[in-house]
Amino acid sequence: MPRYTVHVRGEWLAVPCRDAQLSVGWLGREAVRRYMKNKPDNGGFASVDDVHFLVRRCKGLGLLDSEDPLEVALEDNEFVEVVIEGDIMSPNFIPSQPEGVYLYSKYREPEEYIALDGDSLTTEDLVNLGKGRYKIKLTPTAEKKVQKSREVIDSIVKEKTVVYGITTGFGKFARTIIPINKLQELQVNLVRSHSSGVGKPLNPERCRMLLALRINVLAKGYSGISLETLKQVIEVFNASCLPYVPEKGTVGASGDLAPLSHLALGLIGEGKMWSPKSGWADAKYVLEAHGLKPIVLKPKEGLALINGTQMITSLGCEAVERASAIARQADIVAALTLEVLKGTTKAFDSDIHAVRPHQGQIEVSFRFRSLLDSDHHPSEIAESHRFCDHVQDAYTLRCCPQVHGVVNDTIAFVKNIITVELNSATDNPMVFASRGETISGGNFHGEYPAKALDYLAIGVHELAAISERRIERLCNPSLSKLPAFLVAEGGLNSGFMIAHCTAAALVSENKALCHPSSVDSLSTSAATEDHVSMGGWAARKALKVIEHVEQVLAIELLAACQGIEFLRPLRTTTPLEKVYDLVRSVVRPWIKDRFMAPDIEAAHRLLVEQKVWEVASPYIEKYRMEHIPESRPVSPTAFSLEFLHKNSTRIPESEDL
């Protein structure tokens, strides 16, 4: 007999159907009837006939025709939502889908696997796991380590040894001995009580990263989880069943207890869970719809699932990868601005940077030369002012290698810390199978990623700070020699006037967000956990800072391309013309005032998707091969070559240049 799971006003109802010829409208009425039956006041309705509603799929939110038979419109055990007329405007309305669901409605189950061993996960790997590009499996070595670790726990339970978190309570209750027959209940109680986070849930991409990273840590074999349970967790990940994890509530020691507890809560079939098939529903229904069973926790397994820095670190991975992408592209945007403002390239001479050999500075100056070298890429704009008496530019142009360079070095430093953290055991107690014992320690403390991500926010912010000043130079006619605010008929049109204000507002917000969260600590758990990292907030605000940086640079990119319009028919260098063409493929020139926000968002998407880098990087790497001797090592902060190799971007033939 078919059965459907129906969402009505924040509640989920299982509705069986004896006759598949019944209609979608019948399903909606039956769900409303069952909803009213469970409410003392009938949910505020006199009868089912008084309720006007629409029925839609949870997956993709497609509306269903009320007259269609169920056997045609829906699959067995499909998730649907009844939207009652008037509810959509109510502050109490709970949608079945997370924000940005349009990104996930096209989800396709991946066919490729990535093998986790707890030792070799990269930031790129984790971001790709978050995007749903891979399923997970364990290496044979990891399976053996997990089994050996579990044998130690089974021995402790069998011998009734007193060990923290296995046969005792937690935190302040560490000296409370728990009876053997209560050890499983202890683990379930731990997960339930610690699921106390607040705020919006992590979006599916970030929740997938969190779950994948926890699996990687468990695969190291120091947590004491059973191989059976770990494989169940992997099955949940591979089915893209993602628990409801509020973004707030962790102090970053003892690990990210609240968010990881919410993660574990869904795995045991409690709380809410999301999948592309179901949308948000009770976890037990989502697991059942995918042929999965809730995990039954064994001794120590609740603690194994929730103790660690994976919330901080998984968000930190996204932050590092996005920071790397925007830092590369900031050089390209700034180079385009310099061309529009008819700046000089003398400040990027390699001899200048060789005598102050910071690796990031050297790499950024090289990128500027590769984009602006008129001998290599003839520029009619540069040629038009070759013999002017201009000696040097403002710092926002001249000092890009020094300012952008330290951002690159900051990202490299932070990426190293985050990569180590990705592959670190962060449990307590730690299970050492080779010694046959457990040891209590403090690897769960999030100070390393917290400090690193505070540093990342401070470093990357400077890309926006200097970009906003360049936008000012583009918009100010006394500095640019271009029409005020980059628009014809100024006065009638305002052009980029308020776009610059938006950039200034974002930079100002970043100044507050860059205050380090890790300088704070509040004692918790009755002074047992008397120093904490506040790393969860460090990670979340680092991501917000990076988003603002992307948006400011999107505005500069639009402004620089608009400036090009006033220099036509002169053309810039070939790589920068390619960037201009890319922008013009999504945003047309600014002839007169129009709704600007969609243009900014379109340019923002180009940067987030690294399209600007994709069109310019082949020219940068071609230049590199022609101008750097093979014996000279390339800076490790030159992420460009690594990205180019991984994405198999075609390097243009010489005639393309």
3-state secondary structure 523-542: CECCCCECCCCCHHHHHHHH
CA distances from 199 to 202, 244, 258, 420, 517 (A): 9, 11, 12, 29, 18
CA distances from 63 to 53, 66, 73, 96, 428 (A): 11, 9, 10, 14, 49
Residue 444 to residue 452: CA distance in whole angstroms: 16
Residue 617 to residue 619: CA distance in whole angstroms: 5
What is the tens place of the pLDDT at every residue in 134-185? 999 999 999 999 999 999 999 999 998 989 889 998 878 888 999 999 999 9
Could you tell me the two tokens for 12? 């989920």
**Is 164 marked active-site?**
yes
Which has the higher per-residue pLDDT, 651 or 511? 511
Residue 348 to residue 623: CA distance in whole angstroms: 15
Calculate mean pLDDT across residues 507-534. Answer: 92
Please state, as a whole number, how many other Cβ atoms lie within 10 Å of the Cβ of residue 429: 20
For residue 91, give every residue at least 6 positions away whose Cβ sits within 8 Å of its Cβ, in sequence order, or none.
none
Residue (of 179, 582, 160, 637) closest to 409 by Cα position = 637
> 35, 104, 164, 285: which is the annotated catalytic residue?
164
Could you tell me the two tokens for 107? 């989800």
Residue 499 to residue 471: CA distance in whole angstroms: 9
Calculate mean pLDDT across residues 287-293. Answer: 92
Q: Which domains does the chain have, with CATH numbers?
A: 3-84 (3.10.20.90), 113-307 (1.10.275.10), 316-428+441-523+530-641 (1.20.200.10)
What is the tens place of the pLDDT at every residue in 37-89? 888 877 778 788 888 888 988 877 788 998 999 888 888 878 888 888 766 54
What is the tens place of the pLDDT at every residue in 378-390? 999 999 998 887 8
Report which residue type is found at 304. Answer: A
Residue (of 480, 162, 448, 168) closest to 313 by Cα position = 448
Residue 340 clears pLDDT 60, i.e. is over it:
yes
Residue 628 has a pLDDT of 67
Contact 116, 139 (CB under 8 A): yes
